[in-house]
Amino acid sequence: MSGGKREGTNARQDKLSRLRACSDEHGIILALAIDHRTNLAQALATARGSQDVTAASDLRTFKCLVTQILTPYASAVLLDPEYGLEALRLRHPGTGVMLAYERSGYSANGRNQPPEVIPHYSVRRLVEAGAQAVKVLLYYNPFDDPHINSVKRAYVERIGAECQALEVPFFLEPLVYPSEERPGETSELSFARAKPTYVARTVAEFGQPRYGVDVLKVEWPVVPTYIAGLRSCETAVPAYSRDEAIEHLRMVGMAAAKPLVYLSAGYSSATVCELLELAAEAGVPFCGVVCGRALWQDGIAIYAKEGAAALERWLAREGVAAIQAIAHVLRRCATPWWQLKASDSCQPA
């Protein structure tokens, strides 16, 4: 896969051109995600056996190597403007650029705190930094306190309006979490059973036109380690049968009013491939995937202990093989984004 066409000059076509730039010539998105910040720094420090925060130079080096070696096989790269701008210069020619807008460190642990964007950035500044699309992560529970959910929905509306004003594609990544009001969901198994409903309601909410979302970067509504009959299943007490998992995937696909791309969620590339095939079997129309840790997480310890050259060798072997395997599945299973339910400004003439 490689990046799409260059940005157009006609204002009416800007969003369309930018979305094309983040997909391949067939309208399929395979984006390499390396916008991780706080969690990547912590992982590098842990791999070194240190409690100290990893230096910013390590984050930049890691991002540069991953970007340089893996973007020849990606349609786009997702980076952050805080540590990732240097890596943009090393991406493969023609690879689209997506930049993260949310503040680092935001997590479901702060579910009652309003989400925040990076304070010294705006959508305009992200575009000036090279963004052809903007990504925002949001922790959301459709059954959470109405006040905090109202704040979160207003937050998405503001970002959507910013993106619409500048004709920039808006990728929203809503991640669900257990409800504090439902104590029975505290176990992994209980939450796995509740998750499909949470994801379906969440994608239905943010697919509404008022939010200005162009593509939903959606998490898997089913947990692969709890799907009976899947190679990835690791439990003796599954949350759902294979047929039930297919029905849950179908339910979320039907609830979505916008094109879907799945995220890798830290699963292995083999598990991501298995889930993509399951979604295709369910008849879910999705236009791609945004993969991060599935492609490079095992390289964290290698970089931390053996250095940049060792990581480069590992990426050229293992990382490339992983992204090529996912690309192969996408060629068989994904649907061009322009055939899906995109906003009017993202529909080809």
Give the span between the Cα atoms of 136 and 70, in whole angstroms. Answer: 23
CB 311 within 8 A of CB 302: yes
Q: Which helix (H) or strand (E) holds 199?
A: helix 188-206
Going by pLDDT thresholds of 50, 70 and 90, the confidence category of residue 49 is confident
Q: What is the mean pLDDT of residues 169-183?
A: 85
Give the span between the Cα atoms of 194 and 298, in whole angstroms. Answer: 30
- Give 340 or 84, the one with higher predicted confidence: 84
Q: Which helix (H) or strand (E) holds 150?
A: helix 146-165
Residue 348 has pLDDT above 90, yes or no: no
Going by pLDDT thresholds of 50, 70 and 90, the confidence category of residue 5 is very low
Residue 4 has pLDDT above 80, yes or no: no
Residue 264 has pLDDT above 70, yes or no: yes
User: Which pLDDT tens digit goes with each residue over 314-335?
Assistant: 999 999 999 999 999 999 999 9
Going by pLDDT thresholds of 50, 70 and 90, the confidence category of residue 347 is low
φ, ψ of residue 54 in degrees (nearest 5): -65, 140
Residue 3 has pLDDT above 50, yes or no: no
Burial class of residue 102 in the structure, from the number of CB atoms within 10 Å of its CB (0-12 exposed, 13-18 middle, 19+ buried):
buried
Beta carbons within 8 Å of 288's beta carbon, 6+ residues apart: 23, 28, 29, 30, 31, 75, 261, 262, 330, 334, 337
What is the percent of the chain where pLDDT is above 70?
A: 89
- Give 95 or 54, the one with higher predicted confidence: 95
Residue 186 has pLDDT above 60, yes or no: no
Going by pLDDT thresholds of 50, 70 and 90, the confidence category of residue 178 is confident
Beta carbons within 8 Å of 155's beta carbon, 6+ residues apart: 114, 115, 138
Q: What is the mean pLDDT of residues 207-224?
A: 97
Chain-wide mean pLDDT for the chain? 90
pLDDT at 11: 43
CB 289 within 8 A of CB 322: no
Q: How far is CA 149 from CA 15, 156, 312, in A?
A: 28, 11, 43
Q: What is the mean pLDDT of residues 106-123?
A: 84
pLDDT at 9: 39
Range from 44-48, 62-66, 128-132, 240-244 carrying the lowest mean pLDDT:
44-48
- In this structure, whether the domain defined by 11-346 belongs to CATH 3.20.20.70 is answered with yes
Residue 182 has pLDDT above 70, yes or no: no
Q: What is the mean pLDDT of residues 111-131?
A: 92
Q: What is the mean pLDDT of residues 236-261?
A: 94
pTM of the predicted protein model: 0.92
pLDDT at 2: 46
